[in-house]
Amino acid sequence: MRILLVEDNIALAHGIEVALVREGYAVDHAATVSAAEHILGVESVDVMILDLGLPDEDGLSLLRRIRHRGQDLPVLILTARDSLDDKVRGLDLGGDDYLTKPFEQQELFARLRVLERRNTSAHSALLELGALQLDLHSHQLRVDGCIVALPRREFSLLRTLAEQPGRVFPREELEQKLYSLGGALSSNAIEVHIHNLRKKLPRDIIRNIRGVGYYLRVEL
Protein backbone atom coordinates (compact mmCIF):
# COMPACT_ATOMS: atom_id res chain seq x y z
CA MET A 1 0.00 0.00 0.00
CA ARG A 2 1.32 3.44 -0.97
CA ILE A 3 0.87 6.27 1.52
CA LEU A 4 1.17 10.01 0.90
CA LEU A 5 2.44 11.66 4.10
CA VAL A 6 1.73 15.40 4.14
CA GLU A 7 3.66 16.84 7.09
CA ASP A 8 5.85 19.95 7.30
CA ASN A 9 7.73 18.96 10.46
CA ILE A 10 10.69 17.28 8.78
CA ALA A 11 11.93 15.44 11.88
CA LEU A 12 8.48 14.07 12.65
CA ALA A 13 7.86 13.18 9.00
CA HIS A 14 11.17 11.30 8.84
CA GLY A 15 10.30 9.30 11.95
CA ILE A 16 6.86 8.41 10.62
CA GLU A 17 8.25 7.48 7.21
CA VAL A 18 10.91 5.19 8.68
CA ALA A 19 8.29 3.48 10.87
CA LEU A 20 5.85 3.03 7.97
CA VAL A 21 8.51 1.61 5.65
CA ARG A 22 9.49 -0.81 8.41
CA GLU A 23 5.84 -1.93 8.47
CA GLY A 24 5.94 -2.63 4.75
CA TYR A 25 4.32 0.53 3.36
CA ALA A 26 5.62 2.60 0.44
CA VAL A 27 5.72 6.26 1.41
CA ASP A 28 5.80 9.56 -0.49
CA HIS A 29 6.42 12.65 1.62
CA ALA A 30 5.20 16.18 0.93
CA ALA A 31 5.92 19.15 3.22
CA THR A 32 3.43 21.50 1.51
CA VAL A 33 0.00 21.39 -0.08
CA SER A 34 1.44 22.19 -3.50
CA ALA A 35 3.91 19.30 -3.24
CA ALA A 36 1.08 17.00 -2.18
CA GLU A 37 -1.03 18.11 -5.16
CA HIS A 38 1.90 17.30 -7.47
CA ILE A 39 2.33 13.81 -6.04
CA LEU A 40 -1.41 13.13 -6.29
CA GLY A 41 -1.22 14.10 -9.95
CA VAL A 42 1.58 11.69 -10.85
CA GLU A 43 1.36 8.82 -8.34
CA SER A 44 -1.31 6.26 -7.47
CA VAL A 45 -1.85 6.75 -3.74
CA ASP A 46 -3.89 4.42 -1.50
CA VAL A 47 -4.09 6.51 1.70
CA MET A 48 -3.13 10.07 2.63
CA ILE A 49 -1.95 11.08 6.11
CA LEU A 50 -2.68 14.80 6.27
CA ASP A 51 -1.38 17.43 8.66
CA LEU A 52 -3.49 20.61 8.82
CA GLY A 53 -1.02 23.35 9.77
CA LEU A 54 0.98 23.48 6.55
CA PRO A 55 3.16 26.45 5.48
CA ASP A 56 1.50 27.33 2.18
CA GLU A 57 -2.14 26.42 2.87
CA ASP A 58 -4.37 24.77 5.44
CA GLY A 59 -4.62 21.01 4.96
CA LEU A 60 -8.41 21.22 5.10
CA SER A 61 -8.35 23.21 1.85
CA LEU A 62 -6.55 20.33 0.17
CA LEU A 63 -9.06 17.88 1.63
CA ARG A 64 -11.96 20.01 0.40
CA ARG A 65 -10.57 20.09 -3.16
CA ILE A 66 -9.94 16.34 -3.20
CA ARG A 67 -13.55 15.63 -2.25
CA HIS A 68 -14.86 18.28 -4.66
CA ARG A 69 -13.04 16.45 -7.46
CA GLY A 70 -14.83 13.27 -6.44
CA GLN A 71 -11.71 11.44 -5.25
CA ASP A 72 -12.52 8.83 -2.60
CA LEU A 73 -8.92 8.56 -1.38
CA PRO A 74 -8.97 7.57 2.33
CA VAL A 75 -7.59 10.45 4.41
CA LEU A 76 -6.28 10.20 7.96
CA ILE A 77 -6.00 13.67 9.49
CA LEU A 78 -2.96 13.89 11.77
CA THR A 79 -2.77 17.16 13.70
CA ALA A 80 -2.26 18.88 17.02
CA ARG A 81 -5.75 20.43 16.76
CA ASP A 82 -7.67 18.40 19.31
CA SER A 83 -10.92 20.27 19.96
CA LEU A 84 -14.23 18.56 19.16
CA ASP A 85 -15.11 21.35 16.69
CA ASP A 86 -11.86 20.77 14.78
CA LYS A 87 -12.49 17.03 14.66
CA VAL A 88 -16.09 17.41 13.49
CA ARG A 89 -15.07 19.93 10.82
CA GLY A 90 -12.31 17.67 9.52
CA LEU A 91 -14.63 14.67 9.35
CA ASP A 92 -17.46 16.70 7.78
CA LEU A 93 -15.10 17.93 5.05
CA GLY A 94 -14.33 14.34 4.09
CA GLY A 95 -11.70 13.07 6.47
CA ASP A 96 -12.02 9.35 7.20
CA ASP A 97 -10.30 9.40 10.58
CA TYR A 98 -8.68 11.89 12.95
CA LEU A 99 -5.58 11.26 15.07
CA THR A 100 -4.16 13.96 17.33
CA LYS A 101 -0.51 14.58 18.16
CA PRO A 102 1.26 13.27 20.13
CA PHE A 103 0.36 9.69 19.23
CA GLU A 104 1.73 6.18 19.55
CA GLN A 105 3.03 4.53 16.39
CA GLN A 106 1.00 1.39 17.07
CA GLU A 107 -2.21 3.41 17.06
CA LEU A 108 -1.25 4.98 13.74
CA PHE A 109 -0.62 1.53 12.26
CA ALA A 110 -3.98 0.30 13.60
CA ARG A 111 -5.82 3.27 12.09
CA LEU A 112 -4.15 2.62 8.72
CA ARG A 113 -5.19 -1.05 8.81
CA VAL A 114 -8.77 0.05 9.44
CA LEU A 115 -8.66 2.44 6.47
CA GLU A 116 -7.23 -0.34 4.32
CA ARG A 117 -10.08 -2.67 5.31
CA ARG A 118 -12.65 0.07 4.78
CA ASN A 119 -11.23 0.85 1.35
CA THR A 120 -11.49 -2.81 0.39
CA SER A 121 -15.02 -3.06 1.79
CA ALA A 122 -16.14 0.13 0.04
CA HIS A 123 -15.60 -1.44 -3.37
CA SER A 124 -17.91 -4.33 -2.49
CA ALA A 125 -20.20 -2.20 -0.27
CA LEU A 126 -20.09 -5.08 2.19
CA LEU A 127 -18.62 -4.62 5.65
CA GLU A 128 -17.88 -7.94 7.39
CA LEU A 129 -16.78 -8.05 11.01
CA GLY A 130 -16.94 -11.37 12.78
CA ALA A 131 -20.60 -12.46 12.94
CA LEU A 132 -21.75 -9.11 11.55
CA GLN A 133 -22.30 -8.35 7.87
CA LEU A 134 -23.45 -4.86 6.88
CA ASP A 135 -24.60 -4.20 3.33
CA LEU A 136 -23.96 -0.47 2.90
CA HIS A 137 -26.08 -0.21 -0.24
CA SER A 138 -29.25 -1.89 1.01
CA HIS A 139 -28.72 -0.82 4.66
CA GLN A 140 -29.21 -4.41 5.69
CA LEU A 141 -27.62 -6.16 8.66
CA ARG A 142 -27.05 -9.89 8.98
CA VAL A 143 -25.93 -11.54 12.21
CA ASP A 144 -24.64 -15.09 11.72
CA GLY A 145 -26.36 -15.04 8.32
CA CYS A 146 -29.77 -13.99 9.64
CA ILE A 147 -31.28 -10.65 8.63
CA VAL A 148 -31.79 -8.23 11.52
CA ALA A 149 -34.02 -5.23 10.88
CA LEU A 150 -32.58 -1.89 11.98
CA PRO A 151 -34.11 1.60 11.83
CA ARG A 152 -32.08 4.15 9.88
CA ARG A 153 -30.43 5.77 12.89
CA GLU A 154 -29.48 2.46 14.49
CA PHE A 155 -27.91 1.29 11.23
CA SER A 156 -26.00 4.58 10.89
CA LEU A 157 -24.73 4.31 14.45
CA LEU A 158 -23.67 0.68 14.01
CA ARG A 159 -21.97 1.49 10.71
CA THR A 160 -19.97 4.27 12.37
CA LEU A 161 -18.76 1.91 15.08
CA ALA A 162 -18.14 -0.97 12.65
CA GLU A 163 -16.07 1.06 10.22
CA GLN A 164 -13.48 1.62 12.93
CA PRO A 165 -13.69 -1.36 15.29
CA GLY A 166 -11.83 -0.85 18.53
CA ARG A 167 -11.84 2.93 18.28
CA VAL A 168 -13.61 4.65 21.18
CA PHE A 169 -16.11 7.20 19.86
CA PRO A 170 -16.99 10.07 22.22
CA ARG A 171 -20.72 10.48 22.77
CA GLU A 172 -20.57 13.96 21.19
CA GLU A 173 -19.10 12.60 17.95
CA LEU A 174 -21.81 9.94 17.68
CA GLU A 175 -24.44 12.63 18.27
CA GLN A 176 -23.02 14.61 15.34
CA LYS A 177 -23.45 11.54 13.13
CA LEU A 178 -27.12 11.28 14.09
CA TYR A 179 -27.72 15.03 13.76
CA SER A 180 -26.60 14.77 10.13
CA LEU A 181 -29.58 12.48 9.43
CA GLY A 182 -31.99 15.30 10.33
CA GLY A 183 -34.88 15.43 12.75
CA ALA A 184 -34.98 16.11 16.46
CA LEU A 185 -32.57 14.33 18.76
CA SER A 186 -33.33 13.77 22.44
CA SER A 187 -30.66 14.28 25.11
CA ASN A 188 -30.34 10.53 25.70
CA ALA A 189 -30.66 9.43 22.06
CA ILE A 190 -27.24 7.75 21.94
CA GLU A 191 -27.94 5.70 25.06
CA VAL A 192 -31.35 4.64 23.73
CA HIS A 193 -29.99 3.58 20.33
CA ILE A 194 -27.05 1.74 21.91
CA HIS A 195 -29.47 -0.08 24.24
CA ASN A 196 -31.63 -1.13 21.29
CA LEU A 197 -28.62 -2.25 19.24
CA ARG A 198 -27.27 -4.35 22.08
CA LYS A 199 -30.52 -6.32 22.21
CA LYS A 200 -30.11 -7.24 18.51
CA LEU A 201 -26.37 -7.97 18.42
CA PRO A 202 -24.11 -10.63 19.97
CA ARG A 203 -23.56 -10.06 23.67
CA ASP A 204 -20.87 -7.55 24.71
CA ILE A 205 -20.02 -6.58 21.13
CA ILE A 206 -20.72 -2.91 21.89
CA ARG A 207 -18.61 -1.79 24.82
CA ASN A 208 -18.37 1.53 26.59
CA ILE A 209 -15.75 3.28 28.67
CA ARG A 210 -17.53 5.30 31.32
CA GLY A 211 -17.19 9.02 30.72
CA VAL A 212 -15.31 8.46 27.43
CA GLY A 213 -17.48 6.77 24.81
CA TYR A 214 -18.46 3.60 22.95
CA TYR A 215 -16.60 1.14 20.75
CA LEU A 216 -17.25 -2.07 18.82
CA ARG A 217 -15.38 -5.14 19.98
CA VAL A 218 -15.09 -7.68 17.18
CA GLU A 219 -12.79 -10.66 16.79
CA LEU A 220 -11.56 -10.16 13.20
Same domain for 16 and 61: yes
Q: Is the dihedral of CA 128, 73, 172, 54 positive or negative?
A: positive
Domain count of the fold of the chain: 2
Q: What is the per-residue pLDDT for 172? A: 85
Establish how many alpha carbons lie within 13 A of residue 136's alpha carbon, considering only the half-sphere containing its beta carbon: 16
Residue 220 pLDDT > 50: no
Same domain, 113 and 150: no
Residues 166 and 105 in one domain: no
Tens of pLDDT, residue by residue over 28-61, are 999 999 999 999 887 878 899 999 999 999 999 9
Q: Could you tell me the strand order of the sheet in which 75-79 lies?
A: 26-30, 2-6, 47-50, 75-79, 97-100
Do residues 14 and 43 both lie within one domain? yes
Q: At what angle do helices 171-179 and 84-92 cross, to 10 degrees?
A: 40
Asked if 114 and 130 sit in the same domain, the reply is: no
Q: What is the mean pLDDT of residues 52-76?
A: 90
182-211 residue pLDDT tens: 556 677 889 999 999 999 999 889 999 988
| Same domain membership, residue 139 and residue 64 | no
Measured CA to CA in angstroms, residue 82 lies from 43, 61, 90, 99, 147 at distances of 31, 18, 11, 9, 39
Pick the last residue of a domain from 72, 100, 120.
120
Same domain, 114 and 131: no
How far, in Å, CA of 211 to CA of 78, rounded?
24
Residue pLDDT, tens place only, 106-153: 999 999 988 887 665 555 577 888 889 988 777 889 999 899 999 888
Query: Tell me, what's the pLDDT at 128?
Result: 84
- Which of the residue ranges 5-14, 92-101, 107-116, 117-126 would you say has the lowest mean pLDDT? 117-126
Whole-number pLDDT of residue 212: 87
Q: Residue 175: its pLDDT value, please?
A: 83
Q: Cα dihedral sign for 66, 68, 72, 76?
A: positive
26 and 107 co-located in one domain:
yes
User: Where is the domain boundary, 120, 144, 171?
Assistant: 120
The domain of 81 spans 2-120
pLDDT given for residue 36 in this prediction: 95
- CATH code (residue 58): 3.40.50.2300
146 and 132 inside one domain: yes
Which of 95, 120, 145 delimits the end of a domain? 120
